[in-house]
Structure 1
Amino acid sequence: MASIEQPRRRRPPPDPIAVLRGHRAAVNDTCFHPSLPLLFSGAADGELRAWDTASHRTVSSVWAHAGSAGVYSVAAGAGLGNKIISQGRDGTCKCWGIEEDGLSRKPLFTVKTSTYHFCKMSLVKSPSTDARSGSSCSTSDVEPPRVSIEQNTESRGANPTEAPQEHDQCTTSNGHNMLAIAGQESSQVELWDITNARKIITLPQACSADTTDHPTKRKGLCMAVQAFIPCESVGYVNILSSYEDGSTLWWDVRKPGLPLSSVKYHSESALSIAIDGFCNGGISGGADDKVVMFTLDHPKGTITLRKEIELERSGIAGTAIRPDNKIAATAGWDHRIRVYNYNKGNALAVLKYHSDSCNAVTFSSDSKLMASCSADTTVALWELYPPKPQSKVEITQTD
């Protein structure tokens, strides 16, 4: 049975601790730097801004992408260091340096993906040691990510459902120099090496040049992707991709011809998906009136419904899970940010600051801050359900 979203305690929703104003167009995406007190936001007119999360002031801004296309997605990660990636609807992703006086005036490099749709890019996520409730592994247990080289397997006419041979592997030092994005053929998914501006693999991978009848074609446009490296994959990249028909597929690059699993939890387009810090489950939202929480069964390669939450108003453009795996949040078309207990699935708060559609929500790496952005041109900062201080005494399990 689906549950109805009802915050358990009827207390007034909190206000944002700060509202960041300065953009002149809808803010499409925002992200925190993993170690610096910086927040980045990208707007529909092409402006990319860096904000100081302590002073709540703009540090710098650049015109990152053509105004007619705008900045659609921004991403930062520990593996990128002092760099940030922006994605525009001009068919490019650009890497920007973070300098003493703010963002570099010119991109360090540009990846020409030739994709012009509304699917936001995804950096590769690894199981996090910040998830405190009992992870099955840590980042140190994960081998360097591996992906098959598309040109090699296709040139040999390999069976796309078979695992690539060892000499067909491309091994990199970490997963953060790769990003997943909906493909040039918009019902496919592509994995890119962003530092070398090279496409690594396309999913599904066809065994011939004829890709007109690949298995995702009938699902429509790819609307959301999330790349990750589960402990069980021994370093191989996995990808969740959501589609226009409401379905979600789970890919393992060792079997690029067909997905491991396919589910359809949404009755309309699935627009956003986020995976938790353990890479064992996640949350998705779409154009319909529901939020879905799911688990990933790695031994079986299956996606299982854990919680279905009915909404009073339809349309979820963005989802996020806090690094400590305690809190999840969604950004709604109805101008609302909804906050949930990720483990139990119950609603905690409905935040009503924004005056137009909310496009994205994100958490800081220390789980202390949440940011939301909206078509009302603002970015709001929130302090919600702060994480408890970690105990000085670590309890370890013994056989």
Structure 2
Amino acid sequence: MPPPESLPPAQPAFILRGHSAQIHALHFTQNNARLLTGDAEGWLISWNLAFKRPVATWKAHDNAILGLGSWGADKVITHGRDHKLIVWKLPYAAEEQMDNVLPVNATDLVKQPWILHVLPVNTLNFCSFAMCLDGMPPPQGVGKTIQDTNITQSILLAVPSAVDSGGIDIYQLPSESHAAVITADRNTTTGMVMALSILAETSQIQVAAGYESGHTMVFVQNDPSAAFQRLYCAQTHSQPILSLSISPSNDHYFTSAADAIIAKHPFPSAQSIWKTDLKPLKVIQTKHSGQQGLQARSDGRLFATAGWDARIRVYAAKSMKEVAVLKWHKAGCYATAFATVEQHAPLTGLQTPDELEDDHTATIVDTNLDQSLPSTTVQERRDNKAQTTHWLAAGSKDGKVSLWDIY
């Protein structure tokens, strides 16, 4: 095996071109068969990852798209700076009726998916929504439209409050009800909410928030009739927090900010695991300011950030060591997304994830499944490869999206 320093730098597996404005949001959906990309002009593209081609393109918002999500197998959630959060119905069958002309070539595309819900929300903070499945079973008869009748579980959405810059509103869908509110902490000057994440288990709801002041806090509601209580507060950043991501294990979370700090924090519900006071678990000085779009991978081994210096940085979640710097974009990067893969395909590259702690060089992993699936069709092999690859997507100010297949 050649020494790490002799290995060539990692290169993106694919480049998706089509947006004419900077990329603000990315999200894998349909079991990684599709990648959603949203830009600063409100355009949304759904890409077929097996063929790297657009299957649906539409103007989702009149202003920049701040965040993307999915609900079940056929619903897409978009959050725009036009103060709207919209749930669209986009099953596979509907793609045939959609336009697939890219925004760089679009003139007047009017086709849109069916709209299921529209919520008026505050977007002055540049803070994207957070969502999770509702821990409570759905009530009988819930559903405002015929399209809602096949919904099996409701969701909770957390967004910055429309009347309190440091507060948080929580909505429930499909009922569109205002489920709860978290008021700004009057004893701590935090400024605006800048990043959010939410978890729900039975009747307990937990919300992690990052603020303009560099503070991060965690709130919990143990009963729907009770007020939220603050369980954790830390100020590890000197600049506004730009992104926040909870580990898949749900026992810690990461924050990044306009400064060069990345911090790991305990999630209060798991404090028995840490057996310590609630304080930051690890704080690192990366010497690279302006890292945002922080996302943890579904296996909990890695997280990635998008840098204003046009670099995508990959870190080992346990040690928080930088294990890769991905260089391709020429303009600043704002968003990252990891594909969710339940089980790894066999690794045939030069490294395995167990070696990440000590190796700072990224290598492309060969996940070609053609030989392992001889009885399948070409289409099935392409779909299988697209859906079982741990893609890392990165979006840039240049309007391009790079797809990386590393580790």
Q: TM-score range by the shorter chain?
A: 0.7 to 0.9
Separation (CA, whole Å) in 1 of partners of 2:328 and 2:9:
10
Map of 1:50 onto structure 2: 46
Map of 1:41 onto structure 2: 37
Map of 2:384 onto structure 1: none
| Shift of residue 74, structure 1, vs aligned partner | 0.6
Map of 1:137 onto structure 2: none
- 1:110 paired to 2:118: yes
| Shift of residue 173, structure 1, vs aligned partner | 6.6
Match of 2:81 among 85, 89, 106: 89
Deviating beyond 6 angstroms after TM superposition, the runs of 4 or more aligned structure 1 residues are none
Contact persistence 1:33–1:39 (CA under 8 A): yes
| Shift of residue 311, structure 1, vs aligned partner | 1.9
Segments of 5+ residues of structure 2 without an aligned counterpart are 99-111, 139-150, 342-388
CA 267–192 in structure 1, closer or farther in 2 if over 3 Å, else same:
same
| Shift of residue 298, structure 1, vs aligned partner | 2.1
Map of 1:207 onto structure 2: none
Match of 1:268 among 215, 239, 252: 239
Superposition TM-score, scaled by structure 2 size: 0.73
The C-alpha deviation readout for 1:96-130, integer Å capped at 9, x for no partner, is: 1123242653422211124432001111269xxxx
Separation (CA, whole Å) in 2 of partners of 1:289 and 1:24:
29
Amino acid at match of 2:126: F
Contact persistence 1:215–1:258 (CA under 8 A): no
Larger mean Cα displacement after TM superposition, 270-279 or 193-202: 193-202
The C-alpha deviation readout for 1:345-367, integer Å capped at 9, x for no partner, is: 21110011112221111111116
Task: Within 5 Å, give how 1:129-208 maps onto structure 2.
Answer: 144=136, 174=153, 177-184=155-162, 185-204=164-183
Separation (CA, whole Å) in 2 of partners of 1:61 and 1:303:
45
Separation (CA, whole Å) in 1 of partners of 2:264 and 2:123:
29
Contact persistence 1:144–1:173 (CA under 8 A): no
Contact persistence 1:32–1:364 (CA under 8 A): yes
Map of 1:134 onto structure 2: none
The C-alpha deviation readout for 1:218-247, integer Å capped at 9, x for no partner, is: 210100000013xxx654110000000000
Match of 2:128 among 120, 124, 128: 120
Task: Within 5 Å, give how 1:17-36 maps onto structure 2.
Answer: 17-36=13-32
Match of 2:69 among 57, 71, 75: 75
- 1:330 paired to 2:326: no
Separation (CA, whole Å) in 2 of partners of 1:118 and 1:382:
27
Contact persistence 2:32–2:340 (CA under 8 A): no
Q: How many residues align structurally?
A: 321
| Shift of residue 13, structure 1, vs aligned partner | 3.0
CA 217–182 in structure 1, closer or farther in 2 if over 3 Å, else same:
farther
Alignment partner of 1:108: what SS? strand
Alignment partner of 1:298: what SS? helix
Separation (CA, whole Å) in 2 of partners of 1:42 and 1:216:
37
Superposition TM-score, scaled by structure 1 size: 0.75
Output the aligned Cα RMSD.
Answer: 2.5
Separation (CA, whole Å) in 1 of partners of 2:284 and 2:178:
37
- 1:368 paired to 2:343: no
Alignment partner of 2:119: what SS? strand
Separation (CA, whole Å) in 2 of partners of 1:279 and 1:145:
21
CA 88–39 in structure 1, closer or farther in 2 if over 3 Å, else same:
same
Contact persistence 1:187–1:216 (CA under 8 A): no
| Shift of residue 283, structure 1, vs aligned partner | 1.3
Contact persistence 1:112–1:197 (CA under 8 A): no
Alignment partner of 2:267: what SS? strand
Contact persistence 1:178–1:193 (CA under 8 A): yes
Map of 1:166 onto structure 2: none
Alignment partner of 1:351: what SS? strand
